[in-house]
Chains A and B, each alone.
Chain A
Amino acid sequence: MSAPSRPISLVLGALGGQGGGVVVDWMTRVAVASDWLIQATSVPGVAQRTGATIYYLELFPAAALPADGRRPIMALMPSPGDVDVVVASEWVEAGRMIQRGLVTADRTTLIASTHRSYTVAEKSHPGDGRSNPAAIREEAERAAKALVAFDMDALATRNGAVISAVILGAIAASAGLPFKREAYRQAIRDNGIAVEANLRAFEAAFEHLAAGKAGADGGESRQQAAEAAVPAAFSERIQGEFPEAAWSLLRLGVARLLDYQDLRHAALYLDRLQSIAAVDTTPGSDLLKATAQGLALWMSFEDTIRVAELKTRPERLAQVLRPSSPRPGAIVELTDFLRPRVEEICGTMPAGLGAWLRSSPAWRRLLGRWTGGRRIRTSTISGYLFMRSLAGLKRWRRLTLRYREETAAMEAWLAALHQAAATDPALAVELANCQKLVRGYGETHERGMARFRQILAGAISPADGISPAEWVAEQRARALAEVPSP
């Protein structure tokens, strides 16, 4: 690189805890050791806490200074159209840099980590409020002169370091700065913080980029779980009785219900869907698929028995109880947080008894003694046995109050779908999708169920001007997006 006539500018956007300040310290050491002038400034996010911090660096070679002792005037903040390198330590922050106009196609190299640190707005959404990483990538490719994007967080974790060291490696490999690799290494050593781990992560990032792997891994790749093994008899029945477009989904549903209960339960699933398939005659209709998905989830509703079963599974215990510390002899204990209410206790009882106890104020008071926050130490023998005996009630699940009530509700839903399919297929699909509202536990489940019932009832006589299908779609979207007041 020939000596620049003006300072090289570098912007780093980092989140709290990512070590942005350490990167600036390293870069300062690199520059000073390489006989370059450096000016670094930062603007912490409000009150230095979890917000984003923007660091700005300008670099100028001492060798290019005029003989009369004048020094270049360095800017204190990045300006759109005047930035050589932009580093974003997180994918949405990369988008923010583009939004701020700091990435320009004539000169800016954008180095960004594709991992996500979700914002409060994304996390709070009751469904899926995540930003679309592909939209940011599209814009990044358009805006930058060169884009270097990879999952820096994963690389840092693999090397036992904080992301800052990977950022430094990426800058060293891709920013087009004239500093020697050894200068970066020396800066890490001189800084003295977690030297070994940081050197390891720095080298890994450098090698990763030198090997030209950047851009190969894009955003989050979501691995669809392999279609579970389903007994041949079920596969045959699915293929014989249902349209091909639904096969894959039905196999997933059957697998889930076999896991949840037994063969009879899975067969009941297909029986119920058969009646929907029979009326789902509109070409291209999604009714069967939407129903198959919702019904599989509903028929595997999360009762106390299910929770206890999932929590006592050997594969869960093996995973949770695996010591995360390398220290030899470390042991791991597990505590599960349960919060049964009278409803949950009665729901696990035989239907008649449960309903009677639930409606009796005296019994409610008595049962109330066993409600409230419970911490079950599942890694002890007694804790495990308690959970395991709850799970063991599975064989009597069909007799429980909860099963009876869920069955009644889902059959009412299926009947509504059946009825709508004949007169208004679009409405039927929208109603099928409403199953999404029924989920969660305790009061969350009750609220969702109440909204679900409201929509089911309202769909018969929708408000003026719009079709019943539109009304349901709108109501559902609203219910899913509405953040229940805490």
Chain B
Amino acid sequence: MPGSGEVGDWKMAERSFAKEVQSLRLGDGETFEGEAILAVTKALLQAGVGYVGGYQGAPVSHLMDVLADASEILAELGVSFESSASEATAAAMLATSINYPIRGAVTWKSTVGTNVASDALANLASAGVTGGAMIVVGEDYGEGASIMQERTHAFAMKSQMWLLDPRTDLPTMVRMVEQGFDLSEASHTPVMFMMRIRACHMYGSFETRNNRKPSFTAADALAKPERTYDRIILPPSTYLQEQEKINERWPAAVRYIREHRLNEVFGPADGAVGLVVQGGLYNTVMRGLERLGLADIYGETRIPVYVLNVTYPLIPDELEEFAAGKKALLVIEEGQPEFLEQAIASQLAASGCPTRVVGKGPLPRAGEYTGAVVLEGLRRFLADHAPEALRPVREIVVPLRPSAQLAANVPPRPSGLCTGCPERPLFASLNLLQREMGALHVSADIGCHSFATLPPFNLGASIMGYGLGSAGASALNRVEGRRAISLMGDGGFWHNGLTSGIGNAVYNKHDGVTIIVDNGYSAATGGQFIPSSRGEMTGRDLKHPIEKAVRGVGVEWVRRIGTYDMKESMSVLREALTTPFRGPKVVIAEGECQLNRQRRIGGLLKRREQEGGRVVKERFGVDEQVCTGDHSCIRLSGCPSLTLKPSSDPLRPEPVAHVDHTCVGCGVCGEVAHAAILCPSFHRVDTVLNPGRWERWLNTLRRRVITWLAGAPREVAS
């Protein structure tokens, strides 16, 4: 039974970069080959960064994992690294760069993380920085994104931080990290470095330079502390800071960007029309031009292209030069609102330039700018404004329209909980409880458990943000009658849920039930450790029980359940929903993340097996002849390893349930069959490797007696 026995190989994070981080040591003139996320890390070291922090989340989870795995290299360089408690923590960490000439970098998933960090970011941007400050934001937009669709651009504008969106090409990205720090220092302004989902995992190469040790360290700062009144966020400094932003920092940034040519122009000097492109979309746009016969594969284009590697601020002179003499510009800007298009149009209008500015129109207002979308947008723009350019050199094959028959046979494949996930029995218990007590209001949260909102569980009415499940039910928590259930993950709990949810519930005398899913990791982001993790890790202090924290803020009614024991879980949840006790009720649902558990104990079990130690491997199975094929078990559990198998019974052609070879023996099948009074089809097979002598003897005896009693197998089983 999966528990959290504290043995095995504790590893930080799902993916290990232990081998790859060696490339962070490459020096002058050597060639780096690898993923962009690692390349950006290398660039931070080349830029002489002094401290790094951040909060994990796709698409930049791996940046945090790389840094964690690179602790040795970071220590050699004297770079401090912290896994921040939240994005707000990470942003606040940049405060060091306000007073001291230390370069700092932090990272998170945007825009969700930027939302959380906004308070600190706004203050940082107002105070301004001495040492370069960079925020690497993973722009989670378009296909593969797991959050609401918004733009980081708005944050850059509202706080006046510069936004880099470099061409997705490793040498350019690395150069932009280095120059980004220079820009930050030249303009005393924090800089955001935007990485799109696909760019993060892009494999490529660049020529490296030596890493730079930070010239000023935290020790130097502590030895000679500095403060200047005008960097404090209080009036009247804040008024002066606003003036400084507009009158000094902004012009300084424009000057630096123009002088160092951070933006690029490609193609002929003249032309009737031109394209203004976010750096991150450059590759897509060039492929579109190439397919239209207007560019070659190397980027030689017949249509002039102005690439904004810095999308905020705009450089008026550069823009006017590019626009001069052109009839129309197409602004290729992903996401909405169309900040760039508006800014470009107003800039050109103010300068009296007659060039038409077009963007959303030929291009869609919302959604990801995929290859097909950009191609179509280019074609439309050129047809309207430069039809003479549009001579299709190569015929573009339009794919066949898939038939309705195909659509009917390609069911969606939503994400779901992993095989053996401890949250599966929790949600099955909740659903069985609803069968008994009627429908309940469930306030969901961010994390793996948000998959409970999908089939087959269909649990959860709203998701308000990371760690906000409990807060999301606040308005329903003070009424008499039925109680609402809130979910919260352990990751979200430590991120902010302890205060925003639990502390709030205590103070406001909530009467609802909060289930804190304690799987031991920040699981959805890749299995990073959190304060309540049971593992061991140098440089981090773990094993802080959630229960202690919850009781510490004043919750009196706290129960802990092991999710795999559905009978107990249901009885505790039933009690929580019906007890006469008034006040917040917290149920801590424990069960170690199976993905991480397998990584933790997999190697250990293999070693033990090879050394001749006793190892039991459990697997579940379905007796095909006993299964009547109504699939209730699947609807309750949804386990990936519990699937279908064609029936071999011609009288009953419906497929039967089947447990495939990926089963990890978590036991939920048996629990579900018992708790839901399902069917007697399930069995568990325990394979004992290297059994003891007595065990073997007993087994032989049993097998002989049973074979004697049962007789030999018949040839054909009906």
Asked whether, in the complex, the Cβ of A51 is within 8 Å of the Cβ of B297, the reply is no
Asked whether, in the complex, the Cβ of B688 is within 8 Å of the Cβ of A310, the reply is no
Chain B residues lying within 8 Å of A378, measured Cβ to Cβ, are: 683
Determine whether B223 belongs to the interface, using a CB cutoff of 8 Å to chain A.
no
Determine whether B626 belongs to the interface, using a CB cutoff of 8 Å to chain A.
yes
In the complex, residue of chain B having the shortest beta-carbon distance to the beta carbon of A125 = B631
9-residue interface stretch from B326-334, B351-359, B400-408 = B400-408
Chain B residues lying within 8 Å of A375, measured Cβ to Cβ, are: 670
Asked whether, in the complex, the Cβ of B684 is within 8 Å of the Cβ of A337, the reply is yes
Interface residues of B in 673-718 (CB under 8 A from A): 673-680, 682-691, 695-696, 699, 702-703, 705-707, 709-714, 716-718
Asked whether, in the complex, the Cβ of A119 is within 8 Å of the Cβ of B409, the reply is no
Residue with the greatest number of chain A CB neighbours at <10 A, chosen from B169, B629, B640: B640
Asked whether, in the complex, the Cβ of B626 is within 8 Å of the Cβ of A310, the reply is yes
Chain A residues lying within 8 Å of B705, measured Cβ to Cβ, are: 381, 384
Determine whether A103 belongs to the interface, using a CB cutoff of 8 Å to chain B.
yes
Given A95-B406, A323-B687, A43 contacting B413 (CB threshold 8 A): no
Chain B residues lying within 8 Å of A139, measured Cβ to Cβ, are: 402-403, 405-406
B646 in complex: contacting residue of A105, A124, A222, CB < 8 Å: A222
Determine whether B175 belongs to the interface, using a CB cutoff of 8 Å to chain A.
no
Determine whether A32 belongs to the interface, using a CB cutoff of 8 Å to chain B.
yes
Asked whether, in the complex, the Cβ of B651 is within 8 Å of the Cβ of A339, the reply is no
Chain A residues lying within 8 Å of B580, measured Cβ to Cβ, are: none
Asked whether, in the complex, the Cβ of B707 is within 8 Å of the Cβ of A256, the reply is no
Determine whether A49 belongs to the interface, using a CB cutoff of 8 Å to chain B.
yes
A379 in complex: contacting residue of B14, B411, B636, B706, CB < 8 Å: B706
Asked whether, in the complex, the Cβ of A339 is within 8 Å of the Cβ of B626, the reply is no
Asked whether, in the complex, the Cβ of B409 is within 8 Å of the Cβ of A335, the reply is no
A-B interface pairs (CB < 8 A), number: 389
Asked whether, in the complex, the Cβ of B455 is within 8 Å of the Cβ of A124, the reply is yes
Asked whether, in the complex, the Cβ of B409 is within 8 Å of the Cβ of A135, the reply is yes
A375–B682 Cα distance when bound, in Å, is 10
Determine whether A142 belongs to the interface, using a CB cutoff of 8 Å to chain B.
yes
Asked whether, in the complex, the Cβ of B202 is within 8 Å of the Cβ of A41, the reply is yes
9-residue interface stretch from B83-91, B177-185, B617-625 = B617-625
Determine whether A352 belongs to the interface, using a CB cutoff of 8 Å to chain B.
no
In the complex, residue of chain B having the shortest beta-carbon distance to the beta carbon of A134 = B409
Chain B residues lying within 8 Å of A296, measured Cβ to Cβ, are: 651
Chain B residues lying within 8 Å of A77, measured Cβ to Cβ, are: 143, 198, 284, 370-371
Determine whether A321 belongs to the interface, using a CB cutoff of 8 Å to chain B.
yes
A51–B414 Cα distance when bound, in Å, is 6
9-residue interface stretch from B245-253, B391-399, B480-488, B510-518 = B391-399
Asked whether, in the complex, the Cβ of B415 is within 8 Å of the Cβ of A130, the reply is no
Determine whether A368 belongs to the interface, using a CB cutoff of 8 Å to chain B.
no
A228 in complex: contacting residue of B33, B686, B712, B716, CB < 8 Å: B716
Chain B residues lying within 8 Å of A321, measured Cβ to Cβ, are: 685, 703
Interface residues of B in 59-74 (CB under 8 A from A): none
Given A75-B371, A311-B626, A486 contacting B144 (CB threshold 8 A): no
Determine whether B50 belongs to the interface, using a CB cutoff of 8 Å to chain A.
no
Asked whether, in the complex, the Cβ of B688 is within 8 Å of the Cβ of A119, the reply is no
Determine whether A458 belongs to the interface, using a CB cutoff of 8 Å to chain B.
no
Given A127-B654, A325-B617, A6 contacting B644 (CB threshold 8 A): no
Determine whether B131 belongs to the interface, using a CB cutoff of 8 Å to chain A.
no
In the complex, residue of chain B having the shortest beta-carbon distance to the beta carbon of A56 = B198
A321–B685 Cα distance when bound, in Å, is 8
B702 in complex: contacting residue of A56, A102, A255, A379, CB < 8 Å: A379
Other than the known A92-B411, A99-B410, A442-B677, what 10 A-B pairs have Cβ atoms closer than 8 Å?
Answer: A41-B199, A77-B284, A120-B456, A143-B400, A228-B718, A307-B626, A315-B713, A317-B706, A324-B687, A332-B687
Give B contacts to A, CB under 8 Å: 14, 33, 58, 143-146, 168-169, 197-199, 201-204, 282-284, 286-287, 290-291, 297-299, 370-372, 375, 396-400, 402-403, 405-418, 428, 431-432, 434-435, 448, 451, 454-457, 524, 526, 567, 609, 617, 619, 621, 623, 625-626, 628-632, 634-636, 638, 640, 642-644, 646, 648-655, 661-662, 669-670, 673-680, 682-691, 695-696, 699, 702-703, 705-707, 709-714, 716-718
Pick 30 A–B contacts, CB within 8 A, sort by A. Answer: A43-B201, A47-B448, A48-B58, A73-B169, A73-B290, A73-B297, A76-B168, A82-B371, A95-B406, A105-B397, A119-B414, A122-B644, A136-B409, A139-B403, A252-B651, A256-B718, A293-B651, A313-B717, A315-B713, A317-B710, A329-B691, A331-B695, A339-B674, A373-B673, A381-B706, A384-B706, A439-B628, A440-B632, A484-B635, A486-B431
Give A contacts to B, CB under 8 Å: 5-7, 15-17, 24, 28, 32, 38-52, 54, 56, 66, 70-82, 92-93, 95-96, 98-99, 101-107, 117-128, 130-133, 135-136, 138-139, 142-143, 157, 220, 222-226, 228-229, 249, 252-253, 255-256, 259, 293, 296-297, 302, 307, 310-318, 320-321, 323-325, 327, 329-339, 341, 372-373, 375, 378-381, 384-385, 388, 439-444, 448, 483-486
